Chains A and B, each alone.
Chain A
Amino acid sequence: MATAEVRFQPERITGRRPGTERRPAVLRLLEAERSEEIFPLLLEEIIALGFPRALAVDVNFDSGEITPAAALKWPRHQVEKFSGGLWMSDNQLVSVFHSIRPAVLNKTSFHSKPIYIHPILYANRNLCWEADRIRTSSCLALQNFRREKKVRLEEQVCSTCDMRAYAAALIVEVPRQVSTQAINELGELIELANRYLSRLFKVEHYYNRMRDMEITIAQMGTVMQSMADPVILTDTQHRVIMQNKAAERFFKVPDEMTEGLVRAVELNNLLFSAALSSMLVSGSDSHRDLTLVDAIEGEEMLFEAVSAPTYGPDGIQVGTVTVMRDVTDLRRADQELRSNYDKLREAEEVVRQDRDRLNLIIENVGDPIVVCDREARIVLVDPLAQELFGDPSELPRTAVQFRNQTQLTAYISNFTYSFTERETSPIRLYSPAARQEIEYDARSGKIFDEAGQVSYTVTVLRDLTALRRVEQLKVERRMLEIEKFAATGRLAATIAHEVNNPMEAIKNAIYLLAGFMPETASPVYNILKSETERVARIVRQMLGLYRSTEQVKPVNVNVIIEDTLLLLNRQLQRANIEVKSDLGVLPDAVIAADQMRQVLSNLVINAKDAMPEGGKLIIRSKHLPNPDGVHGWIRILIADTGTGIPPEMTRSIFEPFVTTKGEKGTGLGLWIVKGIIQNHGGKLSVKSQLGRGTAFKIDLPVAKL
């Protein structure tokens, strides 16, 4: 505040311009260019009026203190007496201050002679510019001048321009009987000085405010420049008024001009201008994405521009301030985040579908399923498994559950730390439903985490009781069949062997008799010969089964089929039989080739005999690999379109001496076929329909090495 700078300088003022002619007080006071020069001039003028001494005191509104500001012809030690404070209610000076009216005090504690006290206050006859411009009457200077309300020294701050007023008082020693006219003259002089003072004060206030503003502007400028984001102030025509360094990088034509740089800057300005226009259209406070070219790096950068209009003091828009945020990395990250999120959603969907499917499977498996963690602790069970092991979230409740859990944990621990991914192993558990111990087939698989460590194991338990029973029954039946077959075979062989020698002799004897038979005996002789031959055939076939004259070795079954067909080709042609063969690619089978040849020729001849009117013979072969990729079967199908086998006979045709060919057959062909196939570990079956035909199916085991 200018008032605070007023200093007490009596010497300088008393020595001022000695000998110059006195000019009117008004003009002399006008010489004051600063507020602090007013009081010394005023005091001089007061003395010039003929008063012996005068002084000025002013009020510090911050502290409430009243201190002497300037004095003339007043002894220094007496001047100090006029110090005081606004709070001193019994102080005569203070009372006058509060009344804001001049007064003559004849007797005071400050001075021995009467004094005239004239308080002055910041006051103007007219509104100040600021109040005038915003059209308000609440101007402190005017209020003080008009004395519209009671002046309170405590509230001397202008509500419009925020200016703090001053308060002071001129104290003049007056003669005891001073004339009213002299007092009036003095009062007018002081009021005049106060008007000058108020104006200077106001100017100084503006000057101070201007300085404050300059500081503020400088500060704001620094703030703006130090921002890393481009900030641009534009006028209403989108012309750049001001921009910070960050913005210059994009919008200011650089000192070293290259065509590329200039073009980049021009492009940026164009883009920015366009963005501003569209932003102004869309709303007062809007943001928009803006791609700019970094003129130096030559890279495209994505910005988010936020614009706000700037208004003049009169509320009219004068421009736009735009702050741009570099969101290149942000957008990139955002995009990545978004795509990752999408991926996650997709993966989640897949997982959800998988889970639903898995749940469906689990619900429908009908076998107990147990999921264990890597510590072999049960984490999940289906209702069936819960019967066996109890609820995994609780401790086992019954001894049975405890026992079963122990069994399972032992097995799962073993499996978890084994190197196999899958395992099938029998496990005996007590079934509360069956009230007995049951053998289960535990099929387990591992679920690995990303690091390749086992995270879970899944075990499906299959109740093998029923299966075992059926299997056992099957095995028993098969054993019985094989045993029966073998016994029959042994018996037949024994008989054949015993018959063999006598028959050999009979046969030879018949041969020897050939030339000695009388003509009349010839039919009888022929019967003897042919029947003996038939017996020989039977014996030969029976014994043939036991003459394993060849080692087994890997053979392609197709070659045997082709050999057999070639050998029997003429017979088949003569019988008017069309052969259709469809031979697949086969791995070698380890078999006795001559035995297999016998099998095939027996079956082909049977087929031929079943088609006396001719027909079709179908031979097919194919490989049936097992899922393990190593083992498998070779299937040979031999079918005819012949007479077929009566249904009541299909069960017995593989037994010895059963024939559909009457006298022509030995009834041993299929028996031998079956024996050979069984010796090879194969399977033989037949399907036949009377009048339609017969199909034999042979399955031979093969192993791919």
Chain B
Amino acid sequence: MNEAGKYRILVVDDEASVLLTYRLILEQQGYSVAACRTSREAIQAVEKEAFDLLLCDYSLEEQHTGFEVITAARNRDAVVPAALLTGYATLETVDEAKLNNIGVMFKPIEIEEFLATTANLLRRNNEPKQESNGEKGASPQSAAEGGEHRDGRARRRVPSGPVKS
């Protein structure tokens, strides 16, 4: 999270147009977004700062993959949430992602699903932290609602429906 209280997200995709639209959509939702076209750029970025979420295309330039970026980021923060965005993935790739607690989204991605998953990954990782700060003894549900209120702008715009269904 940056100084403005926004979640900081890194998006990596070798297609410039795709990368740009992802960034714009996420920024529209109130996230702070860093966008990288190559794994080298992305790895430099994760080494420089901490992100709240990594969204990486699986196949990057040359033979590089999104796993490399995520691995680099997790050297800094072992529990940083991450998801692979891919058009085609082998069974092995999906298994590896699951094993490393990395989400997988298949392109073409419904934008509602994209945003819901993003919000979900962020919340899953940050909720316990907020619960320890907030009202004690509250039910997980009320804690989630309370957290949403306190998160302010970024959180309020996340549609919660698709996540629950």
Contacts and interface: CB of A to CB of B under 8 A. Distances in A.
Chain A binding surface, main DSSP class = helix
B108 A551 contact: no
Interface string B85-122: 00111110010000000000011110100000000000
Given A500-B87, A543-B87, A508 B22 contact: yes
Contact of A503 (B20, B22, B108): B108
Contact of A500 (B20, B22, B24, B108): B108
B1 interface: no
Contacts of B165: none
Interface in A500-543: 500-505, 507-509, 511-512, 536, 539-540, 543
Nearest to B87: A500
A547 B106 contact: yes
Nearest to B109: A504
B132 interface: no
Interface in A544-589: 546-551
B18 A508 contact: yes
Contacts of B25: 508, 511-512
Contacts of A34: none
Given A536-B108, A547-B106, A501 B24 contact: no
B63 interface: no
A46 B131 CA distance: 184
A673 B36 CA distance: 39
A550 B24 CA distance: 34
Given A501-B18, A512-B28, A547 B88 contact: yes
A623 interface: no
Nearest to A511: B111
B18 A505 contact: yes
A500 B88 CA distance: 10
A550 B95 CA distance: 9
A543 B18 contact: no
A500 B107 contact: yes
B106 A512 contact: no
Contacts of A377: none
A154 to B, nearest CB: 138
A540 B94 contact: no
Contacts, number: 61
Nearest to A505: B17
A497 interface: yes
Nearest to B57: A501
B108 to A, nearest CB: 4
Contacts of A539: 108
A59 to B, nearest CB: 143
Contacts of B88: 493, 497, 543, 546-547
Interface residues of A, number: 24
Interface in B21-65: 21-22, 24-25, 28
A493 B90 CA distance: 14
Contacts of A546: 88
Given A497-B87, A546-B88, A504 B28 contact: no
A507 B113 CA distance: 13
A508 B55 CA distance: 15
A502 B107 CA distance: 11
Interface string B4-20: 00000000000101101
A270 to B, nearest CB: 103
B107 A501 contact: yes
A497 B86 CA distance: 10
A52 to B, nearest CB: 166
Nearest to A509: B21
Contacts of A512: 21, 24-25, 28
A550 B98 CA distance: 12
B109 to A, nearest CB: 7
Interface in A173-226: none
A507 B87 CA distance: 14
Given A501-B18, A512-B28, A547-B106, A507 B91 contact: no
Contact of A504 (B91, B94, B107): B107
B22 to A, nearest CB: 6
A548 B89 CA distance: 8
A508 B111 contact: yes
A34 B25 CA distance: 172
A243 to B, nearest CB: 108
A504 B106 contact: no
B24 A504 contact: no
Contacts of B20: 505
A505 B21 contact: yes
Contacts of A502: 15, 17
Contacts of B91: 548-551
A546 B111 CA distance: 22
A146 to B, nearest CB: 147
A549 B89 CA distance: 8
Q: Which of B18, B28, B90, B106 counts the most chain A CB atoms within 10 A?
A: B18
Nearest to A498: B87
A548 B20 CA distance: 30
B104 to A, nearest CB: 8
A543 B106 CA distance: 9
Contacts of B17: 501-502, 505, 509
Given A497-B87, A547-B88, A540 B108 contact: yes
A507 B89 contact: no
Nearest to B14: A501
B15 A507 contact: no
Contacts of A500: 87, 107-108
Contacts of A497: 87-88
A507 B15 CA distance: 14
Nearest to A532: B108
Contact of B94 (A511, A536, A549): A549
A304 to B, nearest CB: 95
B162 to A, nearest CB: 15
A168 to B, nearest CB: 147
Contacts of B90: 548
A546 B28 CA distance: 33
Nearest to B106: A547
B21 to A, nearest CB: 3
A700 B112 CA distance: 37
B15, B21, B91: residue with the most chain A Cβ atoms closer than 10 Å? B21
Contacts of B28: 512
> What are the nearest 5 A-B pairs in CB distance?
A508-B21, A505-B17, A536-B108, A500-B87, A501-B15
20 contacts: A493-B88, A500-B108, A502-B15, A502-B17, A503-B108, A504-B15, A504-B18, A504-B109, A505-B15, A505-B17, A505-B18, A505-B20, A508-B18, A508-B25, A509-B17, A509-B21, A539-B108, A547-B106, A549-B91, A551-B91
Given A504-B15, A549-B89, A549-B94, 10 more contacts: A497-B87, A501-B18, A501-B107, A502-B15, A505-B20, A509-B17, A509-B21, A512-B24, A548-B90, A548-B91
